[in-house]
Structure formats: C-alpha cells, structure tokens
C-alpha cells in the first residue's frame, strides 16, 4: 500500500469511535447552521420592519380622507341620506390626493436628511447601531400619529403632517440603507445582486402582511388600532435588531480636511459621477455608466414610486373600495412582488449570467478557430487582425477581473428589461373597467419588479470595494429625490384628473415615464474589460511621499 492510499484509508474503529464520522458530523452541523446564518437574520429583520411600516399604510390614506371629508362638511351642507358614500365627491378626492402628496413629500424631504444621518452613523457607530436607531424612532412617530387620529379634523391633518419630522431621526430610507449595507457585509461579491433582490422581496412580504393586518384592524376595530399595533411591532423589531443581528465595527475612512463640510456631506454622490479609466491599450477615457444608471434608477422610481398610493386612491375613487378591499389589492401586489424577488429574481440573475458567459466563451472560441484555420473570409481576416493586436497588448493588459472587481453584464440588461415591462403593464392599467380587474392588475404588475435591486447590484460592481456604503447611499439619495418628485407631481396630476373625472390617464403618464427610463438605461455600460480606474492624483502623490 502506498503512502497516499494509506493516508486515505479510514481509521480503525474502536469502542469510542462515533457512529457518524467527523466529516458527517461536520456536514450535519453545517446543514443545521445554514438556517441561522447572519444573512437570514438580515432578511428576517427586513420582513419585520416592513411589516411594521405596512400596518399603517392603508389606514393612513383612509384617515386623511375621513379628515378631509370632515373639514369639508364643516363648511358645506350635509348631502341627503341616499346610501351613497358622502365623501365620494371630486372635491374631497382631490383634497385627499393633495394631503397624501404633501405627506409623502414631507416624508421624503425629511428622509433625505435622515439618509445622511444614517450614513454618518454607519461610519462612526457601526451598521447595527444605525439600524437600531432607524427602527426605534418610527415608533416615536406613531405616537404622534395616534394623537392625530384621536384629534381628527383640520388639527388632525396638521398633526399627521408634522409627525413626519421624526423621520429625520429614523425612517424607511435610513433602515433600507442600513439593511443594504448589512447585505454587503455578510455576502460575497457575486451573490450581492441576488441577495439584494431577496431582501427587497422580504420587505414586500412584510408590507403585504402589514397591509392585510392594517386594513383588517381598521375595519373590525377603530381607526386608531393599526397605529397602536404598529407601535408594538416597531418596539419588538428594535429588540430583535439589538439581540440577533451581528455587530460589525465601523469601517475606517479617510477624509480630506481641506474639503468644505457641504462637499463632505454630499460625498456619496461622487460615486455616481463620471470617472476616468485607463483602457487596455493605455488610453484614458471618461466613463458615464454610473451617471446614466443613476438617472435610470431615478426615472424608474419616478414612474412607479406613486403606484401603491395610486392603486388605493383609484380603487377608492372609481370603485368605492374601503380599507379592507384596498388592503387586499396592495397586499396582493406586495406579496406577489415579494415572491418574484425572493424566488424568481435570483434565479433569473444566475441563469442570465450563465447564458451570457457561455455566449462570450463561444465567441472567443470562434475567433480562436479562425486563427488556426488556413482560409478565412475578409470579415474573419479583420477579426484575426484584431485578435493579433490583442495578443500584442497582452503584456500590458491586466488579468480578467475577479472577486470584488468582477462585473456582470446581465445585471444591467435585466435593469433595462424590468423597467420596460413595468412601463407596459402600468399603461395597461388605464383600460380597467371593473373592480375585480384591480386585483388582476395587482397580480401582473410584479412581473416587472427588480429594477431597484438590479441597479444596486450594478452600482456595487462599478465602484471600488471601499466605496460600497457611499454607492448605496448615492442610489438611495437619487431614489429619494425621485420619490419626492413622484409623490408631489403625480399627486397633483391625480388631483387634476380626478377633478375632471379622468383619473385613468395617470397610469398612462406613469407608463410613459417608465419608457423614458428604459432609453436612458440603454446609455449605461460597464468600462471596457481589462480597464482600470485612474487613481486620484492626490492619493497618488500621498502614496509617493510615503514611499519616499
């Protein structure tokens, strides 16, 4: 028996030998631990916090409608009793749309400040502390909103709008940034795009369950009950973050003290600005891929960010839906969207990457076969010349990117396709004639999901590893500006179309904006393979001084 075979031979069993070998025990232990990996706790946290936010999403729109109706009839005569909803008149519907738009705009405006505060907290105190704060302060906001519901009337509307100021300290934008940062910490480079989709899917699951619970509580009990329940769930989620999520120390950062405080505050936006790259041949070019990607993400949110509120207000205005039926519509939309992102999206990303990689390999092998063959057509001779030129440059070309530097072209392709599908489906909503068709619309819209998750995955591939948090912050800022604009603009558009009883045209406007986003994303691309980012001159000088 050779030494190799002796090494592979199993050890002789004794009375103290385990019935299962150490390898089997290790494998069994790994199978048990797979359900308790940090990424699973992060996904569960996304579900819980989104559940907390979702509980009040349906009731809050209905509450604003009731308050607007109450204020209206303080100055107008009550209509004769006819069994018809006394609040279902164009003036009140338009007033509700304006109140919802102002609420969303103020939430986004204060959330913009909260995003920078969250980024600072992640940098200085760690991602876990930042997430705990982002989950706790919405509970404080719910206390103010509960008082608003109890007050009612014009004072109640003012209190509801003022409650959004608490969003500066903690809100949905900050907690999503913290969770996305967690994903970058607990996953490998190639898994991040799929995991970001799973995280968004878990958030959609949580929102769907929250919509159902909120609508049910508002109908069965009083209108303030969803706000009380959401308060308890937020406090429970805060305890979950503190007890179960792993701790990661703050990443050390280097700040240029010569920069103004405003430039340092807006630092994350620099990750999406044009950057200079050195191509394999040695030429320097300016790449605009991140700029057009951010612009496409902006337009995607602009086109679809108002959709959940639009579905509810459209169903209420046209088909007389109440809190329960509205909760069924938005819950169906969120649940199926979450299902798509959780299960289909990661598989589509993996399959698409595999197909594009195999296509690239076939193309490379075709060029190689042309090189070795004795006869070639003029076009093949041109390809051969290019291949020979590439071989001459082989010495100056870096090896194929791997690890944190690897890029996946299909992620960008998916970003474009998803927004195109989203626009087509949204335009189709303008043809709805029956109430049951609202449920059908909510069921088909999720098939265009994934634009935001794919865009985050692409921006992480375009930026250096040390700028991941800044890149996610930049995309979040862009999406927040879009959310602010879509809430304001499409809220006014809805109010204008509602006053002339043509609200279905809002869906056409949404779809048209999505098509614009598709054409903008066509301009985004990765740098040429083998290129490297041109170093910052200041950094290069500093490195040279250190070497001296």
Instruction: Write out pLDDT tens, residues 178-213.
Output: 998 888 888 887 888 888 889 988 988 888 888 888
Tell me what pLDDT residue 367 has. Answer: 63
* DSSP letter string, 75-125: SSPPPPP-SS-TT-SHHHHHHHHHHHHHHHHHHHHHHHHHHHHHHHHHHHH
- pTM for the full predicted model: 0.72
| 125-141: average pLDDT | 92
Q: What integer is the mean pLDDT of 22-40?
A: 54
**Among 24-33, 46-55, 111-120, 411-420, which is the least confidently predicted range?**
24-33
More confident residue, 22 or 178: 178
Q: What is the pLDDT of residue 295?
A: 94
**Does residue 378 belong to any structural domain of this protein?**
no
Which of 34-48, 55-69, 373-387, 432-446 comes out lowest in average pLDDT? 373-387
Q: What is the per-residue pLDDT across 228-281, written as a single tens digit (0 to 9) for each?
A: 999 999 999 999 999 998 888 887 655 555 454 554 555 677 788 888 888 887
9 in any annotated domain: no
Q: What is the mean pLDDT of residues 291-297?
A: 93
* Residue 514 confidence class, pLDDT cut points 50, 70, 90: very high
Residue 397 has pLDDT above 60, yes or no: no
Give the residue with greater pLDDT, 304 vs 75.
Answer: 304
11: pLDDT strictly greater than 90? no
Average pLDDT for residues 136-156, to the nearest whole number? 90
Six token digits for residue 444: 């088909």
CA atoms within 13 A on the CB side of 37: 13
Top-confidence residue, 78 or 184: 184
How far is Cα 135 from Cα 131, in angstroms, rounded to an integer?
Answer: 6
Burial category of 238 from C-beta neighbours within 10 Å (exposed 0-12, middle 13-18, buried 19 and up): buried
- In this prediction, residue 240 carries a pLDDT of 93
Whether residue 17 has pLDDT greater than 70: no
Q: pLDDT value at position 230?
A: 92
More confident of the two residues 163 and 104: 163
- Token pair listed for 474: 């930049």
Q: Looking at residues 420-449, what average pLDDT do you find? A: 89
Residues 6+ apart with CB under 8 A from 265: 116
Q: Does residue 374 carry a pLDDT above 70?
A: no
User: 255 in a domain, yes or no?
Assistant: no
Give a yes or no: residue 388 inside a domain.
Answer: no
The reported pLDDT for the residue numbered 193 is 84
Q: What does pLDDT average to over the chain?
A: 79
- Is residue 139 situated within a structural domain? yes
Q: Are 448 and 421 in contact (CB under 8 A)?
A: yes
In the predicted model, is pLDDT for residue 27 greater than 70? no
Domain hosting residue 484, numbered range:
35-76+86-249+266-371+400-547
Total domains, the chain = 1
The total of other beta-carbon atoms located within 10 Å of residue 71's CB is 19
Mean pLDDT for 514-520 is 95
Task: Report yes or no on 2 lying in a domain.
Answer: no
Residue 502 has pLDDT above 70, yes or no: yes
**Backbone φ/ψ region at 534: left (φ over 0), alpha (ψ -120 to 50), beta:** beta
Q: Is residue 288, in this structure, part of any structural domain at all?
A: yes
Give residues with Cβ within 8 angstroms of 10, minimum separation 6.
Answer: 21
Confidence of residue 363 (pLDDT cuts 50, 70, 90): low
pLDDT band at residue 33 using 50, 70 and 90 as cut-offs: very low
Tokens of 327: 């909760």
| pLDDT beyond 70 at 335 | yes
* Most confident stretch, 203-207, 498-502, 544-548: 203-207
pLDDT in tens, 155-172: 888 898 899 899 899 888
pLDDT at 412: 92
Per the model's pLDDT, the better-predicted residue between 324 and 173 turns out to be 173
| Cβ atoms 446, 336 nearer than 8 A | yes
Q: Is residue 334 in a domain?
A: yes
Phi and psi torsions of 301, nearest 5°: -70, -35
- Per-residue model confidence (pLDDT) at position 234: 93
Lowest mean pLDDT among 21-35, 55-69, 145-159, 477-491: 21-35
Residue with tokens 């169903």: 315
Question: Which CATH number do you get for residue 478?
Answer: 1.20.1250.20
Percent of the chain scoring above 70 in pLDDT: 78
CB 410 within 8 A of CB 352: yes
């Amino acid at each position: 028996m050779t030494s190799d075979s002796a090494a592979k031979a199993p050890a002789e069993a004794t009375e103290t030998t385990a019935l299962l070998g150490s390898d089997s025990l290790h494998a069994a232990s790994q199978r048990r631990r797979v359900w308790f990996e940090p990424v699973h706790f992060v996904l569960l946290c996304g579900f819980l916090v989104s559940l907390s936010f979702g509980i009040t999403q349906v009731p809050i729109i209905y509450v604003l409608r009731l308050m607007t109706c109450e204020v209206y009839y303080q100055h107008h005569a009550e209509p004769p009793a006819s069994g018809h909803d006394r609040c279902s008149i164009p003036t009140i519907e338009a007033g509700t749309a304006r109140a919802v738009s102002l609420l969303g705009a103020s939430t986004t405006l204060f959330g913009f400040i909260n995003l920078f505060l969250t980024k600072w907290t992640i940098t200085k105190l760690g991602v876990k502390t930042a997430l705990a704060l982002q989950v706790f302060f919405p509970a404080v906001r719910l206390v103010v909103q509960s008082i608003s519901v109890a007050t009612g009337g014009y004072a109640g509307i003012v209190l509801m709008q003022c409650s959004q100021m608490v969003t500066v300290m903690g809100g949905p934008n900050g907690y999503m940034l913290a969770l996305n940062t967690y994903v970058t910490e607990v996953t490998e480079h190639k898994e991040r795009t799929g995991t970001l989709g799973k995280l968004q899917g878990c958030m959609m699951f949580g929102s769907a369950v929250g919509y159902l619970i909120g609508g049910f509580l508002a109908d069965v009990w009083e209108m303030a009950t969803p706000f009380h329940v959401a308060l308890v769930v937020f406090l429970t989620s805060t305890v979950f973050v503190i007890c179960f999520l792993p701790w990661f120390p703050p990443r050390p950062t280097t700040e240029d003290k010569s920069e103004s405080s405003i430039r340092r505050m807006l630092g994350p936006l620099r990750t999406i600005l044009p950057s200079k790259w050195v191509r394999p041949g040695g030429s320097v070019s300016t790449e605009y891929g991140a700029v057009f990607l951010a612009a496409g993400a902006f337009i995607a949110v602009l086109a679809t960010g108002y959709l959940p509120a639009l579905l509810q207000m459209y169903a209420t205005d046209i088909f007389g839906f109440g809190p329960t039926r509205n909760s069924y519509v938005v819950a169906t939309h969120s649940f199926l969207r979450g299902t798509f992102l959780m299960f289909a999206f990661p598989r589509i990303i993996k399959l698409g990457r595999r197909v594009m990689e195999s296509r690239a390999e076939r193309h490379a092998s075709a060029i190689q076969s042309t090189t070795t063959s004795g006869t070639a057509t003029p076009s093949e001779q041109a390809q051969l010349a290019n291949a020979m030129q590439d071989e001459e440059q082989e010495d100056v070309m870096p090896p194929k990117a791997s690890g944190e530097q690897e890029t996946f072209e299909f992620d960008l392709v998916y970003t474009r396709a998803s927004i195109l599908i989203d626009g087509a489906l949204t335009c189709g909503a303008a043809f709805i004639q029956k109430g049951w068709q609202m449920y059908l619309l909510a069921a088909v819209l999720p098939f265009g999901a994934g634009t935001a998750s794919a865009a985050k995955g692409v921006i992480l591939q375009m930026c250096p590893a040390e700028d991941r948090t800044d890149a996610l912050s930049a995309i979040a800022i862009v999406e927040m500006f879009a959310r602010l604009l879509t809430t304001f603009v499409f809220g006014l558009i809805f109010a204008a179309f509602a006053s002339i009883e043509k609200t279905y045209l809002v869906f056409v406007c949404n779809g048209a904006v999505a098509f614009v986003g598709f054409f903008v994303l066509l301009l985004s691309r990765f740098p040429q393979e083998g290129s490297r980012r041109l170093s910052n001159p200041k950094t290069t000088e500093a490195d040279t001084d250190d070497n001296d």
